[in-house]
Structure 1
Amino acid sequence: MTHEASRLTPPSPRRGGRDAHALLCHLVAILLVFLALPAHAGTLGRAGLEKHFPPPLVVGERDDRIPVWPILKQEAGAYEIIAYAFESIDFARIPGFGGTAPDLLIALAPDGTFRDAKVIAHHEPVFLEGLGSEPLFAFVEQYVGLSARQPIRVGRPNARAAGAAPATTVDGISMATASTRVINETMLAASLAVAREKLGFGAVNTGLRVEAKPDYAPLGLAELERRGWVKRWRMTPAEVDAAFAGTGLADPDPGAPDEPFSDLTIAYLNVPTIGRAILGEAAYARLMREIGPGAHAVMVVSSGHWSPLPDDFVLGSVPDRLTIQQGGLTVNARDAAWERRDLAPDLPAGPWTLLKIGDAAGFDPSAPWSLSVKVTRERGQIFPEKIAREIATEYRLPPDLFTRAVPDEGPSWTDSWRARASELGIIAAALALLVPVLARHDALVAKSRPFGLFRLGFLAFTLGFVGWTAQAQLSIVTLVGTVRALIHTGDFGFLLYDPPSLLIWGFVLVTLVVWGRGTFCGWLCPFGALQEFCAFLAKPLRIRQVTVPPRLDRALRQVKYAVLAAILLAAALGSPLADTVSEVEPFKTAITLYFARSWPFVLYAVGLLVLNLFVYKGFCRYLCPLGASLALAGRLRLLDWIPRRTECGSPCQLCKVRCRYGAIEPSGRIDYPECFQCMDCVTIIHDPAQCVPQVVARRRGRRIVPRPVAAE
């Protein structure tokens, strides 16, 4: 048997690509022209705010230093500030996935709670003509009543109904996880910036973890009072009358002259020496287990003429007459509904409450804090007017009774990575499997049937898990957001809130340099995978593929580049047309929203799938702007990696005929910007039963020995 040498071209350094490189340089230059455009600021003036805060509320004068407006309400003949209103974009420009920061109207009450929260403007793609803006509006409204001094987290949909802490958790939105986290970060960052200026939040660290040391000393109640660890607070009638000075209100029931108005005993129970002295060892241990790590317990025992714990006080509720404050802010404290048993015999015999402070409140028991009581008096008989005054006393424990630590939880985007760790692990494992399969042409790729089954299985994973489950469909919307961020904010942190997509983006950028566009378009695009599965219907439906004439085919392939240029130019100019033209992608409809969208968008997406039955992947080849951007970037690849023989193109045309993407020219040369890396031609060239030169050589009694040839 004689041997005939047939040259098989190995991966070789690519040639040309200067035109694409020049085009990219021009595009970058165009975008840089717009870098000097001013960033957007708040849009609401007094007139705009008055629409949101109508009478009887009054919009006060804007602060001289920062764009904050006091919101006033008349109380007892005087105007009282009930909130500070501001726009988030003036304090926190965190880009969303549209590339621009959302603008929220926030009204922050003096105690740090959100009195109002509304969306003024946003460019979040999933809500624009997708889910609609109503779910976003409802999401933001959840913040009303929550405290800005607590680390509020975005949970899963219906997280609060499932048991998540309602004071520190807001329900997320399906298919909009990353966008809602950006909104949450914006809400908290802007509010804390205002609070530091207007409310003194700087003294409170919401991430602080202060715990009592386990040290114990057997001290009696008298010694604890002497040290000030248990505080006895006796309010005299004169002190209360002084609080109501100028109101003309006297105590309607003053009681005996020598009897204190109220007599309170206050104790912080987490310190073992204090808690065990008051509750006993067993009850103290049970209390610490029940409130959980990081939480705090404060006991208030009442005696005297007046009690802050009236007869109708409901166990487990927030006391109306008792308030714990620290750093000028109210600390969320609720009755722990602790069983009413006998306490230490030396304590006054009166009603008492055990107040629980959650671990998210940022409460620091090693720093001074105060307990306030609210006393209410009335004047008038027919329409009595109630006037309330708060009287406070300070409580302080030695700092050496505690350990202090600020957990390093990292920035807010790390929550997304922790929450989606399992999805990231699965996708990373799939990518790790894909690389050696595609890289080793003489292994699985060379075996037609096993490789075909592998490809179908991987495409099913891409569609089902990457697309519909992990919501990691890459999109031109990300490039739009990147351009907007480049021009308006310079902040690309919004990309970190969608870790599965970012992982795939990173993989795609690396493979672009090695293989070109095809790795994403042929293997990792969920909508592309959906088209491939739909194409299987063509045969049972007896639909014949339409062959597009070569000249028309070449012209249609340029359309996607024109669409890409229009989108990026609109994004650079700050035009909303960028969002509109981006809808040429059906990804949001078919993958992100599961076709649950208004009928024009569904009809368009379904129409592209039907087109796919006649013109294989017509959208990907002719319209996809994301594919166009990857094709341009893919021209910078390092290798011409698809093996070729000298017979490819002349005389053999088998690979060209079999290529459904039209990515092989009559000469046998691979058009890499149009190659989707299906690997069919690679399988053919390694299969002696399919590769025509090998078949011919075998019939002639010859064997082809592949030998490398130098690149032209």
Structure 2
Amino acid sequence: MNPLSLRGSRDAAWATLWRFLAGIVAALLWLLPAQAGTLGRAGMEKNFPPPLVVGERDDRIPVWPILKQEAGSYEVIAYAFESIDFARIPGFGGTAPNLLIALAPDGTFRDAKVITHHEPVFLEGLGSEPLFAFVEQYVGLSARQPIRVGRPNARAAGAAPATTVDGISMATASTRVINETMLTASLAVAREKLGFGAVNSGLRVEAKPDFEPLTLAELERRGWLKRWRVTPAEVDAAFAGTGLSDPDPGPADEAFADLAIAYLNVPTIGRTILGEAAYARLMREIGPGGHAVMVVSSGRWSPLPEDFVLGSVPDRLTLQQGGLTVNARDAAWERRDLAPDLPAGPWTILKIGDAAGFDPSAPWSLSVKVTRERGQIFPEKVAREIATEYRLPPDLFTREVPDAGPSWIDSWRARGVELGIIAAALALLVPVLSRQEALVARPQAFSLFRLGFLAFTLGFIGWYAQAQLSIVTLVGAARAAFHTGDFGFLLYDPPSLLIWAFVLVTLVIWGRGTFCGWLCPFGALQEFAAWLARPLRIRQITVPPRLDRALRQVKYVGLAAILGAAILGSPLADSLSEIEPFKTSITLYFVRSLPFVLYALGLIVLNLFVYKGFCRYLCPLGASLAVAGRLRLLDWIPRRAECGSPCQLCKVRCRYGAIAPSGRIDYPECFQCMDCVTIIHDPTQCVPQVLAAKRGKRAVLQPVAAE
């Protein structure tokens, strides 16, 4: 059994950590925070040039009406707004993207553009053009329908074009954040301006199937069929103070309007009024989650003028609930099969879609709009609304709030197979690394296993699953901790999050080496590239110890600069993060602008001469893991009393320079290649064992304090 020793004290590690954190701020006082800006009128007019007209910004919410002249008057064709005002959802860089969205009155996207973003994969990676093209796909789609991000070319492969946008390879997490931003912001505006977008988001209220045979008079007596009589006096009172409140010229005892109002989904109401066959047809037409409200008019004024078009939105009738307008459209039914006792005037059945979030079990109101004119040469129209409340007993309905879960759930479901494969690989890695004596029993098998696992890391974890861990994640976390407070962006990349969780656990046990030596795709790429050194007869350069120690500090300076910029809110953090070649070589498969490709290839060439020079001297992610790894609980690499004095075999063989001349292990620089573990357990390689065997003795393993 391998000797494992608990560290006696972690005071030195804590002191190192605190000095490092203090240095982050002290080293970067010259950095200035980024200033965020939003579009004003000038920006809106630039995006919506003539003949369009930008109206006055709404006094309640930051929304600009976009007008167009039609038939001599200006009509609102869209409501324009910035997503950052309604949905601050951090992207994968930890900063929320900002989109310019123009939502038409019918809920369709008239325009969609990217104003700003900090998505790492698009910053000097794929370039912003694929993101711009992704967002443009929303134009023509409707915010009334759920829109999902499919795979690349999903719509060409048969996905519904009205509810699916094509995803972008290598940018799954970013596109899902953009999609949630687009829909969350749009529905927030739709609730305020268009009357849909969930007064009761996600709520499904359905009428119970129970039927009680009642007469029309009994429905009216219960208030389920509401008769609403609007008198001339009420209309005159509505126009008080406008100069148009003169008494109505009609007879005082005659109703200005006489309306009958009924919610038809309840079988007792709908079947009584329409008849069983017509009620069944109506329910089929409005579909699951839809609602139908009937309004029948008598009296000398009608809410349905003679030129009313079937299927349109009645201009004189408005449904409201919770202070918000509910979008209702005529169902285009002809008058037939109605109860004979209903008024004989104009009528409509208003259809309310499932997306409106309408709750028929709660009170709602119906208002009529009455218009009067003043002036003769240039008459001015003045409109006033008169409303009445309608309510039904809640026990006529069932209420259900579907638990669809948060939006990031889709990411986990879509990548379930990848997660399962990675989890199985991690579960296999743990016993291999923990059972050290088994490595010695079959060293060739272990060597093949290591090569195979590194190939899996590079090919599957890196290039296929796109789960290369990066300093970019820490930049996003720093921005979230100091600015947004929202760490939800981490949940949109499940494979990376799974590996992060595994790495954080193994940091406590083994330190930095588990990730850097086994789970880093770029590290695996460097190891495979290093094989070329032998057939090419390239001799490795031995860096002088003093220079080596100085170079190892460079990665900590880089880490401090990057995190300092992120904490201060500077976009410089994104630029400094490009010290990592991971995006170029792993995420983008070297398909990038020439300077980045040359940089990544240069590091691989450097690896032929200075083994893993980037990992040892430049990698900011490795630096962060090295700092956190100082808090590990165990010194798990076995040592002997002879290690370092006189035996230097492990030190000479360690290509990472993680073993001091004294034989002590420098765990923050250890990549867990297991070469020294193999040597110390192999009686044919370990010098103390070879000498002890010649003397007929046995060399004993014993703990040696780490560096």
Q: 1:428 to 1:556 in 2, by over 3 A?
A: same
Distance 1:362 1:402 in 2: 15
Aligned residues of 2:303 and 2:368 also touching (Cα < 8 A): no
Distance 1:52 1:170 in 2: 23
1:96 to 91, 108, 121: 91
Aligned 1:109-128 pairs, distance under 5 A: 109=104, 113-128=108-123
Q: Deviations over 1:14-59 (max 9, x none)?
A: 4898676445424434666899988855432222222112223134
Tell me which amino acid in the other structure corresponds to 1:607.
G
Q: 1:198 to 1:536 in 2, by over 3 A?
A: same
Displacement of 1:393 = 11
2:21 to 10, 20, 28: 28
Tell me which amino acid in the other structure corresponds to 1:656.
K
Distance 2:120 2:364 in 1: 46
Query: Could you tell me which residue of structure 2 aligns to residue 256 of structure 1?
Result: none
Query: Could you tell me which residue of structure 2 aligns to residue 70 of structure 1?
Result: 64
- Please state if 1:554 is matched with 2:553: no
Tell me which amino acid in the other structure corresponds to 1:10.
P
Q: Deviations over 1:64-102 (max 9, x none)?
A: xx6625325255555555444333334443322222222
Aligned residues of 1:366 and 1:399 also touching (Cα < 8 A): yes
SS in 2 for 1:117: strand
Displacement of 1:500 = 2.2
- Please state if 1:515 is matched with 2:510: yes
- Please state if 1:485 is matched with 2:480: yes
1:10 to 3, 6, 20: 3
- Please state if 1:213 is matched with 2:208: yes
Tell me which amino acid in the other structure corresponds to 1:154.
R
Aligned residues of 1:12 and 1:711 also touching (Cα < 8 A): no
Aligned 1:111-510 pairs, distance under 5 A: 113-146=108-141, 150=144, 152-157=146-151, 158-160=153-155, 162-164=158-160, 166-167=162-163, 169-192=164-187, 194=189, 204-217=199-212, 271=266, 295-296=289-290, 359-366=354-361, 399-444=394-439, 447-510=442-505
Tell me which amino acid in the other structure corresponds to 2:662.
S
Query: Could you tell me which residue of structure 2 aligns to residue 702 of structure 1?
Result: 696
1:689 to 681, 684, 692: 684
1:57 to 53, 57, 64: 53
Distance 2:406 2:481 in 1: 21
Displacement of 1:671 = 1.8
Query: Could you tell me which residue of structure 2 aligns to residue 607 of structure 1?
Result: 602
Displacement of 1:708 = 3.7
Tell me which amino acid in the other structure corresponds to 2:126.
L
Distance 1:159 1:268 in 2: 41
Query: Could you tell me which residue of structure 1 aligns to residue 625 of structure 2?
Result: 630
Aligned residues of 1:446 and 1:683 also touching (Cα < 8 A): no
Aligned residues of 1:9 and 1:708 also touching (Cα < 8 A): no
2:665 to 644, 666, 670: 670
Aligned-residue Cα RMSD (Å) equals 5.4
Tell me which amino acid in the other structure corresponds to 1:107.
A
Tell me which amino acid in the other structure corresponds to 1:57.
V
Aligned residues of 1:60 and 1:72 also touching (Cα < 8 A): no
Query: Could you tell me which residue of structure 1 aligns to residue 613 of structure 2?
Result: 618
Identity %: 76
Query: Could you tell me which residue of structure 1 aligns to residue 647 of structure 2?
Result: 652
Greater mean alpha carbon deviation, residues 276-285 or residues 647-656: 276-285
Query: Could you tell me which residue of structure 2 aligns to residue 251 of structure 1?
Result: none
Distance 2:571 2:198 in 1: 42
Distance 1:272 1:685 in 2: 83
Aligned residues of 1:517 and 1:630 also touching (Cα < 8 A): yes
Unaligned runs of 5+ in 2: 229-258, 370-384
Q: 1:292 to 1:630 in 2, by over 3 A?
A: farther
TM-score by length of 1: 0.76
Greater mean alpha carbon deviation, residues 496-505 or residues 638-647: 496-505
Q: 1:279 to 1:573 in 2, by over 3 A?
A: same
Q: 1:687 to 1:355 in 2, by over 3 A?
A: farther
Q: 1:428 to 1:286 in 2, by over 3 A?
A: farther
1:542 to 531, 536, 539: 536
Distance 1:29 1:688 in 2: 47
Aligned residues of 1:9 and 1:711 also touching (Cα < 8 A): no
Greater mean alpha carbon deviation, residues 565-574 or residues 474-483: 565-574
Distance 1:465 1:403 in 2: 48
Q: Deviations over 1:468-507 (max 9, x none)?
A: 2322211011122222333332333322322322222222
Query: Could you tell me which residue of structure 1 aligns to residue 636 of structure 2?
Result: 641
Displacement of 1:524 = 1.2
TM-score by length of 2: 0.76
Greater mean alpha carbon deviation, residues 74-83 or residues 112-121: 74-83
Q: 1:49 to 1:473 in 2, by over 3 A?
A: same
Distance 1:112 1:583 in 2: 40
Q: 1:408 to 1:636 in 2, by over 3 A?
A: same
SS in 2 for 1:443: helix
Query: Could you tell me which residue of structure 2 aligns to residue 4 of structure 1?
Result: none
SS in 2 for 1:697: helix
Distance 1:206 1:94 in 2: 19
Displacement of 1:458 = 2.4
Aligned residues of 2:462 and 2:521 also touching (Cα < 8 A): yes
Query: Could you tell me which residue of structure 1 aligns to residue 238 of structure 2?
Result: none
Displacement of 1:187 = 3.3
SS in 2 for 1:704: coil
Greater mean alpha carbon deviation, residues 28-37 or residues 547-556: 28-37
- Please state if 1:533 is matched with 2:522: no
